[in-house]
A and B are shown apart, each in its own frame.
Chain A
Amino acid sequence: MKINSPLEAYRYLPGTNCGECGEQTCMAFAAHLIDRSKKLTDCTPMLEQKFSKKLKDLQALLAPEIREVEIGVGEKAVKIGGDDVLYRHRLTFFDPTALAYDVWDTMPENELVERVKKIHDFKKFYVGNFLTLDMVAVRCVSKDPKKFADTVKKVIGTTDLPLILCSFDPEVLKAGLEVAKDKNPLLYAANKDNWQQVADLALEYNVPVTLFSPDDLDTLKSLAVTFAKMGTEKLVLDPGTFPSGKDLKKTFTNFLKIRRAGVEGDRDIAYPIMAVPLTAWMVQDDAVSASYWETVIASIFTIKYGDVMIMHSIEPYALLPQLHIRDTIYTDPRKPVSVQPAMYKVGTPDKDSPVLVTTNFALTYYTVESDLASSKVNCFLWAIDTDGIGVEAAVAGGQLTAAKIKKGIEDSGFDLKNDTTHNTIVLPGLAARLQGDVEDETGARVMVGPADSGRLPGWMEKNWPPKAK
């Protein structure tokens, strides 16, 4: 983004404070343009003819430094790139790294279909949403265009996830494109030998294309400049992912350099970057070591500027950390760390329902809440004000104490004696040491729940309702 203050954006807006965008004033809207929480097209007056020049100018000023490239079609299409900063706390990172997993054209058909389904179906529940995988990369191992096309066709018949078509042979890519031309797949890849033919394909089929130049940034930039000149900026850069030792360090350096140059304004190289952690499998012997090393490389390049990645392992122990580190880095750091301290209802609790204590740390709260809700436990959930710190740390740090819990109860207006039949509080297992103190402070009966809220449903079965003393 070429401007960084709302005032600069405001100068281009109608200035009528009409409220069409949902904001009270054009200045407020301008602030949202700068933090990228609203789109310029939300301002409907700007779409009028008389503003067309201002619209165009402002759009150019607001465009992210790193170009945004779309792959795939429909609901599952992914956008990559689109970033404006080198550190997530400076704004946030946009367009989460797209995670692609490979299949290849020498796989028996049943294995192919099964693998694609696994990639398509994998999901992990996390604070109210599912984390899922994004793409399928089809590799040509056979060198046979027809075989490749057949495989692509089979994949398309099995999933609507976006595709990456992988071969350095333009004929193979063309055969794949013929089958997938309506799917806006990402081509992989043009290199210094085949670039002319691959450029033709990218232009003819109007699809995004990866430029591959292992450890040679001059050539990578040459390719990017040449492709842009030929008429496409739907480009992804692959500076090569070397899987070990000093070469891997070089790869790391290349990623840093490309993104820094792009964010600092070198438009010629300001494209999304691809990492290929799959190369870990070229140096590791057994599947567990390879999956581990692949996950390690994937983590590095999720954190440092990889926008799309191709992996091989689909073992859950590799997928879970990959999904979570991606979520970690792309979570908007501007969102609040804590929820409002209060008494919350989960499901439809009544006077016999348990009363559970947790903290107001957003992650803790939502984890506990989703564990309870997904198991259909009706209860009261008390988010105590711990300054947004989790249970274990808050107990250690003195933010979760008996006095705090008592105050939380009083502030919420909830009356244990009148609003429940049991006058009982359930503490998190990690706060077990507070049991006696809380009993003394509140006069309520205090039970200690499990250390992990995932075990609450089982714990409830055994311990709730509480037996009479």
Chain B
Amino acid sequence: MTKKTKLTDITQLFKDFDIEALEGVSIEGDIELNITGGGGLNPALAYALGQEISHISLHMANIGRILGYPVDQLLAQSLGMGVAGAPSPVGEMVAAKTKIQELLAAKFEVASVKNWTNPIQEVTLGATSGDGGSRKSTITLGGENALPYYFDAEMPHRNYITMDVFDMPIGMAKAVKSNYDDVINDPAEWAKKVVRDFNADMVTIHLISTDPLIKDTSARDAAKVVEDVLQAVDVPIVIGGSGNPQKDPEVLEKAAEAAAGERVLLASASLNLDYERIAKAAINNGHVVLSWTQLEINAQKELNRKLMKQCNVPRDSIIMDPTTAALGYGLDYAYSNMERIRLAGLMGDDELTFPMSSGTTNAWGAREAWMVSSPLAQDSEWGPREYRGPIWEIVTGLALSLAGNDMFMMMHPTSVQVLKEITQTLYGSIESEAVDISNWVGAEV
């Protein structure tokens, strides 16, 4: 029995009926369906017909399977080619009645944060000749109205990196030291190198030799080093003491005088030394004070309050260092401490609305950053330390940048380069490389 049935014939045949399903209809023998155009075909009929045809193909497919033909692969291929309106695969037809044929419409919506109403204070470092200094340019930190890189509000300033310079050779991880072998005895050359070769935004000169337990260099001699560094580079600078609470006030006083008008950052005022002297040195010479506390939000509030109320430091002359602990060595505390400080500031705590600075170099204290291999036999191999060190410093800094930190004190050139790239990427100033991720699964990497 061979008979050619055209779609139009069937349409003609059933045109006066309101067809919802074909029941008890079976098509046997050779089948040749000639479907041309969709013109005039009753949609209900087309659906019913389609269903019948699909059932036939299901039977046929089963026969094919019995005969050993890779039916499923064939079906998948034809689907994969994306023919519009291609027949559904077997499994789907079986469950056709319970299924959803089209994606349910949905609109994604999310609100902005309502209670970030208090902007972070803007603080400018460095002074150009117009402002009584000799820096070529200045750097402004702060001004945020949201957590960093958040869509709730534009971030007004990018993150900045100041690279460490010491006034004497100090112990450093090998991976760090190898970058500074040629300048280790000359702070001015060292400062030049980090700006010229390593793209530092700023330079921090640490007057470490002034510590009575190290070299006990006089405050006067230390101030000369500051002058040398100011001569050597034209970026804004940070002046750090030795960390000796008895000596630092005097050292920073002399250094502040030597740098008068340059609007440097004096590091640091803390609760365990005579912060009033440091505050006064900053006010008298037009500098900014680094308010340093140790992983304690209430201590940070207390010191900031004392600097403002007791010492009369203007709000635009305070930056905070709430302490950086390295990845694996307390970064969880440092991260949450900074995040809490920033959120409190944004939500209205005026004692905490200051830009933040991180001693990211502390990451090099982590043994994972510098040790040749694990001291523990049970550990898997740690791999080459040349690569472990910089990434330790990067991840430490990156985590804090997400917690709200504005400025990073760092040491390794690779760390500086990568942290700059990622913070500026999140800040939004770096163009994307065109890449199609829609089929990353099959990528050859």
Identify the A interface with B (CB < 8 A): 87-89, 121-126, 130, 139-141, 143, 145, 166-171, 188-189, 191-193, 195-197, 200, 204, 214, 217-226, 229-230, 240-249, 252-253, 256-257, 260-261, 264, 266, 268-269, 276, 278-279, 281-283, 288, 290-293, 295-296, 299-300, 303-304, 312, 315-318, 320-321, 324-325, 327-329, 331, 333, 337, 361, 363, 367, 370-371, 374-375, 389-390, 392-393, 396-398, 433, 452, 454-455, 457
Report whether A217 and B108 are in contact in the complex, using a CB–CB cutoff of 8 Å.
yes
A389-B294 contact given A283-B435, A321-B392, CB 8 Å threshold: yes
Question: Which chain B positions have C-beta within 8 A of A318?
Answer: 391
A229-B100 contact given A168-B439, A331-B332, CB 8 Å threshold: yes
Query: Counting CB contacts under 8 A, is B17 at the interface?
Result: no
Report whether A371 and B432 are in contact in the complex, using a CB–CB cutoff of 8 Å.
no
Report whether A316 and B330 are in contact in the complex, using a CB–CB cutoff of 8 Å.
no
Contact partner of B379 (CB less than 8 A), chosen from A125, A247, A333, is A125
Give min CB distance, A416 to chain B, whole Å: 25
Could you list 30 examples of A-B contacts with CB < 8 Å? A124-B379, A130-B378, A166-B441, A195-B103, A196-B99, A197-B79, A214-B438, A225-B106, A244-B430, A244-B433, A253-B150, A256-B150, A260-B110, A261-B109, A264-B110, A264-B111, A266-B109, A268-B106, A292-B394, A295-B395, A299-B395, A300-B426, A321-B327, A321-B392, A327-B328, A328-B331, A374-B377, A374-B378, A390-B325, A454-B376
A247-B442 contact given A87-B339, A433-B213, CB 8 Å threshold: no
What separation, in Å, do the CA atoms of A140 and B80 have in the docked complex?
15
Report whether B440 and A244 are in contact in the complex, using a CB–CB cutoff of 8 Å.
no
Report whether A328 and B438 are in contact in the complex, using a CB–CB cutoff of 8 Å.
no
Give min CB distance, A165 to chain B, whole Å: 10
Q: By DSSP majority rule, is chain A's interface helix, strand, loop, or mixed?
A: helix
Give min CB distance, B335 to chain A, whole Å: 7
Contact partner of B380 (CB less than 8 A), chosen from A124, A141, A292, is A124
Report whether B76 and A204 are in contact in the complex, using a CB–CB cutoff of 8 Å.
no
Sorting the interface of chain B by its residue count into under 10, 10 to 19, 20 to 34 or 35 or more gives 35 or more
Report whether A225 and B104 are in contact in the complex, using a CB–CB cutoff of 8 Å.
yes
What separation, in Å, do the CA atoms of A392 and B395 have in the docked complex?
21
Further pairs besides A197-B91, A279-B437: 17, Cβ < 8 Å: A88-B336, A141-B444, A168-B439, A196-B99, A200-B92, A256-B150, A266-B110, A278-B445, A292-B390, A295-B391, A299-B399, A315-B383, A317-B388, A328-B331, A392-B365, A433-B213, A454-B371
Which chain B residues (375-433) contact chain A, with CB distance < 8 Å?
Answer: 375-384, 387-388, 390-392, 394-395, 398-399, 402, 418, 422, 425-428, 430-433
Question: Which chain B positions have C-beta within 8 A of A171?
Answer: 72-73, 76
Report whether B108 and A221 are in contact in the complex, using a CB–CB cutoff of 8 Å.
yes
Q: Which of A125, A196, A243, A315 has the most CB of B within 10 A?
A: A196
Report whether B432 and A242 are in contact in the complex, using a CB–CB cutoff of 8 Å.
yes
Contact partner of A282 (CB less than 8 A), chosen from B95, B150, B440, is B440
Report whether B327 and A242 are in contact in the complex, using a CB–CB cutoff of 8 Å.
no
Question: Which chain A positions have C-beta within 8 A of B35?
Answer: none
What separation, in Å, do the CA atoms of A195 and B439 have in the docked complex?
15
What separation, in Å, do the CA atoms of A67 and B317 have in the docked complex?
46
A167-B441 contact given A245-B432, A246-B431, A261-B110, CB 8 Å threshold: yes
Give min CB distance, B300 to chain A, whole Å: 13
Across the interface, name the chain A residue whose C-beta is closest to B327: A324
A214-B108 contact given A124-B379, A329-B335, CB 8 Å threshold: no
A125-B378 contact given A245-B430, A249-B428, CB 8 Å threshold: yes
Report whether B432 and A246 are in contact in the complex, using a CB–CB cutoff of 8 Å.
yes
Report whether B367 and A325 are in contact in the complex, using a CB–CB cutoff of 8 Å.
no
Q: Which of B376, B442, B443 has the most CB of A within 10 A?
A: B442
Query: Counting CB contacts under 8 A, is B314 at the interface?
Result: no
Report whether B100 and A230 are in contact in the complex, using a CB–CB cutoff of 8 Å.
yes
Closest 5 A/B residue pairs (Cβ): A245-B432, A454-B375, A316-B383, A171-B76, A217-B108
What separation, in Å, do the CA atoms of A257 and B108 have in the docked complex?
9
What separation, in Å, do the CA atoms of A200 and B12 have in the docked complex?
38
Provide the B347-375 mask, 1 if CB < 8 A to any CB of A, else 0.
00000000000000000010110010011
Report whether A89 and B339 are in contact in the complex, using a CB–CB cutoff of 8 Å.
yes
A329-B332 contact given A248-B425, A283-B435, A317-B383, CB 8 Å threshold: yes
Report whether A244 and B100 are in contact in the complex, using a CB–CB cutoff of 8 Å.
no
Question: Which chain A positions have C-beta within 8 A of B387?
Answer: 288, 291-292, 315, 317
Report whether B440 and A87 are in contact in the complex, using a CB–CB cutoff of 8 Å.
no
Report whether B437 and A214 are in contact in the complex, using a CB–CB cutoff of 8 Å.
yes
What separation, in Å, do the CA atoms of A134 and B80 have in the docked complex?
32
Query: Counting CB contacts under 8 A, is B97 at the interface?
Result: no
What separation, in Å, do the CA atoms of A221 and B103 have in the docked complex?
10
A296-B442 contact given A169-B80, A329-B332, CB 8 Å threshold: no
Question: Which chain B positions have C-beta within 8 A of A166?
Answer: 441
Question: Which chain B positions have C-beta within 8 A of A452?
Answer: 367, 371, 375
Across the interface, name the chain A residue whose C-beta is closest to B436: A282
Contact partner of A196 (CB less than 8 A), chosen from B92, B323, B343, is B92
Provide the B61-91 mask, 1 if CB < 8 A to any CB of A, else 0.
0000000000011001001101000001101
Question: Which chain A positions have C-beta within 8 A of B367?
Answer: 452, 454
Contact partner of A246 (CB less than 8 A), chosen from B151, B243, B330, B428, is B428
Across the interface, name the chain B residue whose C-beta is closest to A391: B365
Report whether B399 and A328 are in contact in the complex, using a CB–CB cutoff of 8 Å.
yes
Give min CB distance, A330 to chain B, whole Å: 9
A398-B272 contact given A197-B92, A222-B104, A328-B335, CB 8 Å threshold: yes
Across the interface, name the chain A residue whose C-beta is closest to B105: A222
Give min CB distance, A390 to chain B, whole Å: 7
Q: Which of A217, A229, A279, A316 has the most CB of B within 10 A?
A: A316
Give min CB distance, B101 to chain A, whole Å: 8
What separation, in Å, do the CA atoms of A202 and B173 have in the docked complex?
51
A218-B335 contact given A244-B435, A325-B327, CB 8 Å threshold: no
Which chain B residues (304-329) contact chain A, with CB distance < 8 Å?
Answer: 323, 325, 327-329
Question: Which chain A positions have C-beta within 8 A of B382?
Answer: 316-317, 320
Give min CB distance, B168 to chain A, whole Å: 16
Question: Which chain B positions have C-beta within 8 A of A327?
Answer: 328, 332
Across the interface, name the chain B residue whose C-beta is closest to A139: B441
A325-B445 contact given A125-B378, A169-B80, A282-B440, CB 8 Å threshold: no
A221-B445 contact given A240-B437, A276-B440, A324-B368, CB 8 Å threshold: no
Query: Counting CB contacts under 8 A, is B177 at the interface?
Result: no
What separation, in Å, do the CA atoms of A122 and B383 have in the docked complex?
12
Provide the B136-156 mask, 1 if CB < 8 A to any CB of A, else 0.
000000000000011100000
Report whether B103 and A328 are in contact in the complex, using a CB–CB cutoff of 8 Å.
no
